[in-house]
Amino acid sequence: MDMKISNIRYLSKAAFIALLILLVGCSTVPVTGRKSLNILPDSELLSMSLQQYDDVLKKSKLSNDPAKVHMVKRVGERIASATEQFFKEKGMESEIRNYKWEFNLIEDDSVANAWCMPGGKVAVYTGILPITQNDTGLAVVMGHEISHAIAKHGNERMSQQLLAQLGAVGLSAALSSNPGATSDIFMAAYGLGANVGVLLPYSRVQESEADHIGLILMAKAGYDPREAVPFWKRMNEKGGSRPPEFLSTHPAPETRIKEIEAEIPEAMKYYKGK
């Protein structure tokens, strides 16, 4: 009898937490309007972001090429400004109120990649610059990565991973009594998993959303969104039979290009330099 009562209490607690997650753990992705699961507090993610970003920079060699460094900061600041303006126009400025934008170029020609953490902490690797070729190509990349952050895709895949590993009750206990239990998953979710494990992949839905939102952000920043198509063609050609890490979880090249081409007319509405 006691065991039955215990099981009932456990199930009731699990059901309550699951309901709580459904009620308070969902957010709306900008532009697409998709509902996503975000059960980790933004404050916790921002705190981990600052810590991990600083750690990455300390362990990396930053580029000392003034022209390249200035280009990354110039393009990044324009995309960031467009992002803030976009959220203000949508009445969602509170979503990124605590963003403290930072843009750094890491010297590693073997890595064709870039990423953005919560809070606007962005890193670009020199290995992607030959593919971006210019400011506009770089705007495609940075718009895409910043879109992952503002759409809270990292929170979503961390939430899914934590639920899968810990379950509703275990998750509640982990978050309340041991916040550090999420640190390895955070590192994997935001592409810092080289020394921790396998990178948690974005889903194809998330990748497509980042493409879509990124086109709008780069257009608002004054970069021609039509240049996204030749960039992705160059990126795909660079990959050969084994795509760069930046493409590892993305939709098939033909599918991505068709989707981007279909979304360009919408992005062009935000572009003032036609």
Catalytic residue numbers, as ranges? 145
* Nearest residue to 223 (alpha-carbon basis) of 121, 112, 132: 132
Angle at 39 between CA 52 and CA 187, to 5 degrees: 20
What SS3 string covers the chain? CHHHHHHHHHHHHHHHHHHHHHHHCEEECCCCCCEEECCCCHHHHHHHHHHHHHHHHHHCCECCCHHHHHHHHHHHHHHHHHHHHHHHHCCCHHHHCCCCCEEEEECCCCCCCEEEECCCEEEEEHHHHHHHCCHHHHHHHHHHHHHHHHCCHHHHHHHHHHHHHHHHHHHHHHHHHCHHHHHHHHHHHCCCHHHCCCCCCCCHHHHHHHHHHHHHHHHHCCCCHHHHHHHHHHHHHHHCCCCCHHHCCCCCHHHHHHHHHHHHHHHHCCCCCC
